[in-house]
Structure formats: structure tokens, C-alpha cells
Chain A
Amino acid sequence: GAVVSQHPSRVICKSGTSVKIECRSLDFQATTMFWYRQFPKKSLMLMATSNEGSKATYEQGVEKDKFLINHASLTLSTLTVTSAHPEDSSFYICSARNRDYGGSDTQYFGPGTRLTVL
């Protein structure tokens, strides 16, 4: 239980295009999902908190118009990188919070998406 999928696993796009990344909780409902960015050999940096049915909460310094988040259902959140540029190239990871599994408030992570912007 508590499996999170992420799609695609890798994407290469041209500068100026938009890329959508999907995060799904497969066997539980997640009212809250999180989007992180990870640079090589670094820790995870929280970008935003995605709440089902409401607007996402962005961390300081993260452009909400560039990183669009939609949490349309209890099992799906999407991150769209709009007008991507090479500096947006990174590893993006989502997580979903499960309050029922294991009896505590735990985040379970997707396998990540490597974005390369040419």
C-alpha cells in the first residue's frame, strides 16, 4: 500500500515549450500532495503544496505562474512547467500524504521526473 506513481519519468523538451508532470496516489486518497525539486547531490527543496479542490501554496521564491499546479482529484496532482528554459532542467519529485496508512502522517514519494530543457 501507499504507492505513488509519477509520469513521465524522463522528458526532453525545447526551450519555450510547456511540460506537464502527473503524480498519482495509486492505492490511497491524498488530499495533499507536495512537489519538490532536487539538484544533483542535494537535498529536496519543497516547491509547493497541492491541496485537492483549492489553490496550491507556493514556497518563497517559486513562481506560481511558471509552475502551475492542479489537484483536480483525490488521487491526481499535476505540475506544468510553462515556457520552460534550460535553468528549469532538474529532477522533480512529488509526494502524497497518507494519514491512514501506518497510523501516522507520512509522505510517500513518486519515482521522480528528470526534465531536460534544450
Chain B
Amino acid sequence: AQTVTQSQPEMSVQEAETVTLSCTYDTSENNYYLFWYKQPPSRQMILVIRQEAYKQQNATENRFSVNFQKAAKSFSLKISDSQLGDTAMYFCAFNNAGNMLTFGGGTRLMVKP
């Protein structure tokens, strides 16, 4: 069974600064996908970024980028130039190509003005 661990229950960052959210996972699979989802106060789950395990290049989406370390089973999310709208719960998730998503416990991020 896969497990996903987010070791930071809460974090805060000043507006315009950079913050990194940690995520580690455990699996015996070789082919899988990793995701970061954002859940703002509206509670709508929004896909932030996705990484295929077979790709060595780290995924980026505008201000969001990941540091994917396959050997270490680490998948951190970096948010650059933080904005007030980035305030949300962030969930790291694992999917072994076709089956269910396994979520981490979440990190609550507060962006301060």
C-alpha cells in the first residue's frame, strides 16, 4: 500500500516571498503520478501541478514548481512570489496509474500581507 506524508501541518509566508511545502511517499511501484491539489476556503479541490514519475524534469506551472527526487521519494512544492489567493490547504497525492489517489494529510498555508 502506498502512503503519503506531509510533515508540515501549517505554514505561513509573507506576500511576494517563496515557500516550499514538503511531501514524501512510499511505494514499490516504478510508474506512477504525483499531484499537488489546492483547497481554498471554498473547498473546491483545484489541481495545481502534476508530475509523471518517468520524467526526470521537474514540472512547473507559472509560479508553482516541484522538486521531484524519485530515489528519495520526495515531491516538494515551491510557490514563488506568494499571493494572498494562495492561502489554502495543499494536498500532495499519489496515483499508481489507474487506481485511486492516496492523499497526504495536508498543509495549511497562510499568506500574510
CB closest chain-A residue, reference B35: A106
CB-nearest residue of chain A relative to B4? A43
Q: Are A112 and B44 in contact (CB under 8 A)?
A: yes
In the docked arrangement, what's the CA distance between A46 and B47, Å?
Answer: 17
Give A42 Cβ to nearest chain B Cβ, in Å.
8
Closest-CB distance, B7 to chain A (whole angstroms): 14
Q: Does B91 contact A (CB under 8 A)?
A: yes
A17-48 contacts to B (CB < 8 Å): 34, 38, 41-44, 46
Q: Counting CB contacts under 8 A, is A107 at the interface?
A: yes
Does B52 have its Cβ within 8 Å of any Cβ on chain A? yes
Residues of A within 8 A of B45 (CB): 44, 93, 95, 109, 112
Contacts of A49 in B (CB 8 A): 100
Complex: how many Å from CA A106 to CA B91?
14
Interface check B19, CB cutoff 8 A: no
Majority SS of interface residues in chain A? strand
Give every chain A residue within 8 A of B91 (Cβ-Cβ): 43-44
CB-based nearest A residue for B51: A104
Closest chain A residue to B101, Cβ basis = A107
- Measured between beta carbons, the chain A residues less than 8 angstroms from B95 are 105, 107
Interface centre among A41, A49, A93, A109 (most CB of B within 10 A): A109
B 20-57 to A, binary, CB cutoff 8 A, 1 in contact else 0: 00000000000001010100001111110010100000
The answer on a CB contact under 8 Å between B44 and A44 is: no
- In this assembly, does A61 line the interface, its C-beta being within 8 Å of a C-beta of chain B? no
Mask: chain A, 68-111; 1 = CB below 8 Å from B; 0 = not: 00000000000000000000000101010000001011111101
Residue contacts A-B, CB under 8 angstroms, 29 given: A34-B100, A41-B108, A43-B91, A43-B104, A44-B45, A44-B91, A46-B100, A46-B101, A91-B43, A93-B45, A95-B101, A102-B50, A104-B33, A104-B50, A104-B52, A105-B33, A105-B97, A106-B33, A106-B35, A106-B47, A106-B50, A107-B95, A107-B101, A109-B44, A109-B46, A111-B43, A111-B44, A112-B43, A112-B44
Chain A interface (Cβ < 8 Å from any Cβ of B): 34, 38, 41-44, 46, 49, 91, 93, 95, 102, 104-109, 111-112
- 17 further contact pairs, Cβ within 8 A, besides A43-B105, A106-B35: A42-B106, A43-B91, A44-B45, A44-B103, A91-B43, A93-B45, A102-B50, A104-B33, A105-B95, A105-B97, A107-B95, A109-B37, A109-B45, A111-B42, A111-B43, A111-B44, A112-B44
